[in-house]
């Protein structure tokens, strides 16, 4: 075994060699810091702490991030349940433990900077806190699959006291708006590649037993639509088998044109197939084919 695969603190093999992540050692370092921060909410504190103690690499890590660690905050979008803000995170996200300096080493970009662009999802006051926490937990489950927008952590607006998710910023926006502007510039090869990548990403989410329930072009984001697409907004999502006795489980949610007919009629509940077969004429994910492949006539 190479020395690069061995943790210099405990002499055991790294849990993740690419990031030099040692779960036993890093869990201790994170736990030692628990008394130095709080969200002000026990349920959020426990959610973050559990995630940190069980992280197998830095992608599975989320943090409590004080609001003053962001700059250039400005609103950029409005959804049904909250507002999206652009911001720059001064510290950037954790990469690995710096043994020599006994502190966390933050990931640097190709320019050598740790500062990173992020999106802050601020929830409206009328949204039930349990629903907010449920969205956070479901989104967090997708952090390590490369199919969704990355979830870095949680912060709080100091004026409204609303909690905010700190998310990966997708500079090219959502697929719906991108197609309005760029449709005639996308060739067939790129259309099919995007459809393939989107199908793979949805499959990865379904493999986690997550049903999205709100899968449409407005919730598909990217920083480069020629290279990657990410699925976002898990506010209406559910875990298969969770709350089986919930009397509200048959509630119809989502954007009307993208709801599967059998769900809309009330005959069936949301399933993985509902995500795939959503939209008029049960075209499902191929409804995006309609968006990608429509003619300009």
Closest of 234, 275, 278, 273 to residue 258, by C-alpha = 278
**Strand segments (E) across the chain:** 63-64, 70-78, 82-89, 94-98, 103-106, 116-123, 151-156, 163-168, 210-211, 220-224, 228-231, 238-239
Closest of 87, 83, 88, 43 to residue 64, by C-alpha = 43
- The model carries a pTM of 0.88
Give the pairing type, strands 70-78 and 82-89: antiparallel
In this model, does residue 292 exceed pLDDT 80? Answer: no
Name beta bridge partners: 83: 78, 122
Find out whether 97 and 29 touch, Cβ atoms under 8 Å.
yes
Q: What values do phi and psi take at 212, rounded to 5?
A: -70, -50
Residue ranges of domains in the chain, CATH in brackets = 3-168 (3.30.200.20), 175-293 (1.10.510.10)
Highest mean pLDDT: which of 13-17, 67-71, 188-192?
A: 67-71
Residue 285's pLDDT is 47
Establish whether 238 is an annotated binding residue: no
pLDDT band at residue 296 using 50, 70 and 90 as cut-offs: very low
């Amino acid at each position: 075994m190479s020395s690069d695969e061995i943790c210099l603190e405990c002499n055991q093999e790294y849990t993740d060699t690419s990031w030099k992540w040692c779960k036993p050692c890093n869990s201790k370092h994170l736990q030692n810091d628990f008394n130095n921060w709080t969200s002000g909410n026990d349920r959020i504190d426990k959610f973050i702490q559990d995630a940190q103690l069980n992280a197998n690499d830095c992608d599975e890590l989320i943090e409590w991030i004080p609001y003053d660690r962001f700059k250039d905050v400005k609103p950029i979008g409005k959804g049904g349940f909250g507002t999206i803000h652009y911001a720059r995170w001064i510290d950037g996200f954790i990469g690995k433990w710096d043994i020599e300096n006994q502190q966390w080493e933050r990931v640097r970009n190709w320019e050598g900077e740790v500062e990173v662009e992020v999106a802050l999802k601020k929830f409206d006051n009328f949204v039930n806190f349990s629903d907010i926490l449920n969205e956070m937990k479901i989104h967090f489950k997708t952090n390590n699959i490369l199919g969704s927008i990355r979830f870095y952590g949680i912060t709080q607006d100091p004026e409204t006291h609303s909690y905010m998710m700190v998310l990966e910023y997708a500079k090219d926006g959502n697929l719906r708006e991108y197609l309005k502007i760029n449709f005639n510039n996308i060739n067939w090869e790129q259309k099919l590649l995007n459809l393939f990548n989107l199908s793979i990403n949805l499959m990865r989410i379904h493999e986690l037993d997550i049903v999205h329930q709100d899968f449409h072009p407005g919730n598909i984001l990217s920083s480069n639509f020629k290279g990657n697409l990410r699925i976002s907004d898990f506010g209406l999502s559910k875990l298969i088998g969770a709350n089986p006795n919930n009397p509200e489980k048959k509630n119809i949610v989502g954007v009307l044109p993208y709801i599967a007919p059998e769900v809309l009629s009330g005959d069936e509940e949301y399933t993985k197939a509902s995500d795939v077969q959503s939209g008029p004429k049960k075209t499902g994910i191929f409804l995006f084919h309609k968006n990608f492949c429509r003619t300009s006539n």
